Amino acid sequence: MTEVDAIIVGMGVGGEEVAGRLAEAGLEVLGIDGGLVGGECPYWGCIPSKMMIRAANLIADARRLEGVGGAVQITPDWTPVARRIRTEATDNWDDKVAVDRFTGKGGTFVRGRARLLGPGRVEVNGDEHTARKAIVLATGGAPTIPPIEGLAGTPYWTNREAIETETVPASLVVLGGGAIGVELAQVFARFGSKVSVVEAADRLLPAEEPEASETVHEALGEDDISMVTGRKAVKVAHDGREFTLSLDDGGSVRAEKLLVAVGRHAELGDLGLENVGLDPKGKGITVDGHMRAGERLWAVGDVTGHGQFTHVAMYQAAVAVRSILGQSGPPADYRALPRVTFTDPEVGAVGLTEAQAREAGLNVHVGTTQIPTSARGWIYGDGNEGVVKLIVDADRDLLVGATVAAPSGGETMGALAVAVYSEVPFSSMRHMMYAYPTFYRAIEDAAKHMT
């Protein structure tokens, strides 16, 4: 049995951040992970997927050149995309650089699956380890695989296989119209795949504003993507060459590949949570504002249920580090939690949707404007689809939520995230000066059309 100051179970982006910062602070830190240090984001998520999106968007922009600045012949080629993911983003899915980064700060790394034995006690690979100060759970999440008849045992894709592929399938059906599903659908369509998206909800991006869903639906349609909404998949068959996805209305969709992208979940059952008084069957680990989950126990990232985003995990990591080291600082605040769907156009959002604000009983005023009617949108031309939507608590004169679906919508949303977080009076936002001609100037137009 070994004893250290802190044990980090799960070395994804949140766990690696906690482990590294505690080691830099002089603590004796043990990091444990059965997978790759760095987690989903650098190997199968944020980084490689955005490389794919960047390449796909360049193809789309080249096609928009005609009538604006010339003409160009386009031959999509997946080879440089796959090569860049393999060599630049993932080191061929090797985490040596990440492991060395952590051990270079003084930490010790063990590869294996950890299980809690009790407060401050962890077992991995048959060895027991004790933490004097803290155990931090940061085990992330995994793709949710729905219990559809016939799906198990077929060679379906999750985001991992989609990221790792070295060829573009002739056809692809994407089960799930959330952020991951629509992003990857657009990528493969722009590289020549015949793509269909099936979403059980009545619209794509059901967690976002309806106006954003409509924008993305229209954009995907322009990429010749077929979309089926409001229908559930009831059966999957694979004949060795293609998939057949049967729907609850009797219809079906066929494709060479099937990408399952219906969401992600925290896997808690094998962590031994019952040994520290927590529910192993829960959807997440309940934490307080300082990420504490129990005696000498903290949790960060996807397992806390506060949003499956890298920026949430990194934010929570900073809060947890302060708490473990006894440093002062504010508790976690999710009022201005930002999120971006990296389609073309992007959908950037922060805070509450209109529906959430009304459900909370707020006196809601809403302002919207269409991006093509703005000066920058008109100048931009083809590809300028989008909308700005502002959600205001009229009683407090505060912006509580906003969505920007537009070219670089995630960047424009940044100004609105500051306003939500800092509780800038909305009357001040109405009267401030907005640079012309920018996309973010459309915020001023939306503010003028408040109802």
- How far apart are alpha carbons 159 and 165 in whole angstroms? 10
User: Which residue, chain included where needed, has tokens 């060459």?
Assistant: 241
Query: How many of the other CB atoms lie within 10 Å of CB of 248?
Result: 12
End-to-end Cα, the chain, rounded Å: 65
State residue 1's pLDDT score.
73
Q: Name the residue with tokens 């931009």.
A: 380
Q: How far is residue 11's CA from residue 246's CA, in Å, rounded to a whole number? A: 39
- Which residue, 429, 443, 420, 208, is CA-closest to 334? 420
Contacts 24+ apart (CB under 8 A), 237-245: 237/150, 237/154, 238/150, 238/154, 238/155, 242/171, 243/154, 243/156, 243/173, 245/173, 245/175, 245/198
pLDDT tens for each residue of the chain, 451 residues long: 799 999 999 999 999 999 999 999 999 999 999 999 999 999 999 999 999 999 999 999 999 988 888 888 999 999 999 999 999 999 999 999 999 999 999 999 999 999 999 999 999 999 999 999 999 999 999 999 999 999 999 999 999 999 999 999 999 999 999 999 999 999 999 999 999 999 999 999 999 999 999 999 999 999 999 999 999 999 999 999 999 999 999 999 999 999 999 999 998 989 999 999 999 988 999 999 999 999 999 999 999 999 999 999 999 999 999 999 999 999 999 999 999 999 999 999 999 999 999 999 999 999 999 999 999 999 999 999 999 999 999 999 999 999 999 999 999 999 999 999 999 999 999 999 999 999 999 999 999 988 8
Cα→Cα distances 345→139, 186, 216, 312, 358, Å: 32, 11, 7, 23, 27
